[in-house]
Structure 1
Amino acid sequence: MLRLTPPENKRFIQADNFNIIYGGGEANVAVSLANYGLDASFVTRLPDNPIGDSALNELRRYGVNTEFIKRGGDRLGIYFCENGASQRPSNVIYDRAHSAIAETKPGEFNWGKIFNGADWYHVTGITPALSDNMAEVTIESVKEAKKQGLKVSCDLNYRAKLWSRDKAEKVMAEVMEYVDVCIANEEDAEMIFKIKSGSDIDSGELNIDGYREVADQLMERFDLELVGSHLRKSYNASVNGWLVVLYDGNEFVQSEEYEVHIVDRVGGGDSFAGGLIYSRLTGKSLQESAEFGAAASSLKQSIPGDFNHMSLEEVESLAKGSGSGRVKR
């Protein structure tokens, strides 16, 4: 999709031009995984026009396989993002109705071919929120992924501006029947499945122990093997505390907490998802997975745009405790 952002932290009403950024939940994860040296493919539908070409080329630029991307439809989905600062929050306006992907119908993707030889499939709760069609396509995809023996991860990513809580619960409950690894932030489990952690999101107060209870309930309901969450202590729009918790049904681990001075928060959660998937595919322990995911996602928020452009070595260095920010000479 296409993100349009006013430059220099301007408000929409001030803007006479916008920065163009291509990205989106699953695309951001694919770029992270390709950046870490894994083979990553992205599946979507893009309009067969120069804007669709630009989005496709942005993925190719970072080593993501695009052979399974369908071409068709009239437009690329757009959203406008006004970056916040200090006590002023960020603001998002969606323009995604009737996009090429939203009008995709079940049966258009050959999931058997797409999943052949793959190990892991990742999807977010944003994709089925785009349309009734895409809800069906998402369910179709996770069913086939499990049939072919892939690990399936899902970032719940509830978006109130895209669908209602009741619709989200109905659709995501069916999706989750085929999920192995669930990612849910401070709001998702509560907004979709009415599972509360005891945190006060607006005040930035986190009840970390409460997330184990949330994870337990998610595991019990959906027979999951792992639940993860990136937790944001929102002091203001510019400075956040950031950490990760993971729970596998036996062990509950917490990462180092970072104080993040935000350049661009978009993609922070996706970079955690990418870090977590990489960690599990490469045999890291649960604690190492938490540290790697937290390091990757905190570093991402220092970078403009949706994608995490930190190298594997840079993430590993921070995960091992090198976070001074000193100049590399």
Structure 2
Amino acid sequence: MFDQKATSAANTRVVTLGEIMLRLTSPGHTRLLQTPFLEASFGGGEANVAVSLASFGLDAAFFTALPEGPLGDAAVGELRRRGVDTSAIIRQGERIGIYFLETGANQRASNVLYDRSGSAIALLRREEVDLSALFAGASWFHITGITPAISETAAALSIAAVRTAKEMGLTVSCDLNFRKKLWKYGKSAPQVMGELLPYVDIAVANEEDCQHSLGIGLDIDVSSGGLEVDRYRDLASLVLGRYPNLSKLAITLREARSADSNGWSALLATRGDIYMSRRYEIRDIVDRVGGGDAFAAGLIYGSLCLDDEQEALEFAVAAGCLKHSISGDLNLVSRQEVLRLMSGDGSGRVRR
């Protein structure tokens, strides 16, 4: 299914650009500051993707700016020990971005608080980055809609990055990832993403991302926990119609019945076909943060290493499914574990 193509893609270099943050999580399902303890780890959309790709065996590099000092060192160290190339990271600025996570339970939703204004990557100027050197030897570039939401400076860098990547012949992917709490520097998401998307080949989104990041939406009710699949097909057609440069659009389909129980599947639309994945019933969710990043990484890997669009989609959905069982932002699963789930082995039996 994958050996020959995966072998040929083993030397494919994927570059991601974004912010890695210090993540502070209240233990278990406690409220923030209900106890005096917070669990510290690192995460962030594009960094999460790079870690997943490295765990799948690809050459993955992550670019950002981080301050000198123990927190910046720890963030770089976490990426390095996961196999990610950090050699291009710029060490400057005064602070690392932070986000606080309170994990929901049952009918109580999870909540994220950001403390990332003035972070090193938010202040990094386009002219301080040699994008041609960053993309040298790479064939794929991945970014999310989170990075251009951080600041106007980060938006300028993001747009320049996708433009340079396309000029250098890289495949460009973007997870739209709308974050309402971040868009506060005066420009709207559709304004900025409308400049960025014309340089993208493959987009990843959910229905809210399409509506709020691109200003494209249909009357889809996501609060009921059910799905109207035909409406998502229509949504994909609208997005592909507006952006003729896109070759593929993947839409994740989450049936959120509670914080602990979700249905999980996805749709992949190309210029000629629409593919539907199998559906996973995910109960007793450990941590859903990073599930979309795991899906995006799986789609990149599948596009490079698997035989066809259906297999690429199934790999992405399986990778995203497994992320719900892993604490923290990072999807610490191997390619073999994803392939086992794809093959139908989801029993959770002990392996001896």
Q: Shorter-chain-normalised TM-score: which range?
A: over 0.9
The farther-off stretch of 134-143 and 157-166 is: 157-166
1:246-261 matches, within 5 Å, as 246-261=268-283
User: Mean Cα displacement is larger for which, 186-195 or 242-251?
Assistant: 186-195
Matched length: 329
User: Equivalent residues in 2 for 1:148-163 (5 A)?
Assistant: 148-163=168-183
Counterpart of 1:272 (choices 295, 298, 306) is 295
Please state if 1:209 is matched with 2:224. no
* Contact 1:271-1:297 within 8 A present in 2 as well: yes
CA distance in 2, matches of 1:283, 1:237: 32
Q: Give the aligned partner of residue 235 of structure 1.
A: 257
Quote the residue 1:117 is aligned against: 137
Q: 1:28 aligns with which of 48, 65, 68?
A: 48
How far apart are residue 117 of structure 1 and its match? 1.1
Deviations 1:205-263 (A, max 9, x none): 22211122211121121121000021110010001000011010211111111111210
Displacement of 1:197 after TM fit? 4.2
State the TM-score, normalizing by the size of structure 1. 0.98
1:197–1:258 Cα change, 3 Å: farther
Q: Distance in 1 between matches of 2:220 and 2:51?
A: 31
* SS across alignment from 2:333: coil
What secondary structure sits across from 1:59 in the alignment? helix
> Which string of whole-angstrom CA distances, capped at 9 and with x for unpartnered residues, describes residues 256-301 of structure 1?
1111121001100000000000011114311111111110000011
Correspondence for 1:220? 241
Decide whether the 8 Å contact of 2:26 with 2:33 is kept in 1. Answer: no
How many percent of aligned residue pairs carry the same amino acid? 50
Residue type of the alignment partner of 1:216: S
Q: Which runs of 5+ in 2 are unaligned?
A: 1-20
Amino acid aligned to 2:294: S
Is 1:308–2:331 an aligned residue pair? yes
Higher relative contact order by CA 8 Å / sep ≥ 6: 1 or 2?
2
Pairing of 1:36-55 with structure 2 (within 5 A): 36-55=56-75
Residue deviations 1:101-129 (CA, integer Å, cap 9, x gap): 10111111111111111010000000010
Query: 2: distance between equivalents of 1:245 and 1:138?
Result: 26
C-alpha spacing 1:283/1:323, structure 2 compared with 1 (3 Å): closer
Distance apart, 1:198 and its partner CA: 3.7
Q: Of residues 6, 10, 15 in structure 1, which corresponds to 2:35? A: 15
The one-character-per-residue Cα deviations of 1:165-212 (angstroms, maximum 9, x if unpaired) are 961000000000100001111310011223224431111222211122
In structure 1, runs of 5+ residues without a counterpart are none
**Correspondence 1:291 to 2:291:** no
Secondary structure in 1 aligned to 2:120? coil
Name the SS for the 1:101 alignment partner: helix
Aligned equivalent of 1:145: 165
- Report the equivalent of 2:10: none
Question: Aligned residue for 1:318?
Answer: 341
Contact 1:198/1:206, CA 8 A, preserved across alignment? no
CA deviation string 1:67-122 (max 9, x = no partner): 11000000000011100011100011110100011011111111111111101000
SS at match of 1:273: helix
- For residues 276 and 232 of structure 2, the distance between their equivalents in structure 1, rounded to whole angstroms, comes to 11
Considering only aligned residues, what root-mean-square deviation do their CA atoms show, in Å?
A: 1.2
TM-score (norm 2): 0.91
Check whether the contact 1:125–1:172 (CA below 8 A) recurs between aligned residues. yes
CA contact (8 A) 1:135 1:171 kept: yes
- What is the aligned counterpart of 2:115 among 71, 95, 102? 95
Change (3 A) 1:166 1:74: closer
For 1:112 and 1:193, the matched residues in 2 are separated by 28
Provide the C-alpha distance between the structure 1 equivalents of 2:207 and 2:190, rounded to a whole number of angstroms: 16
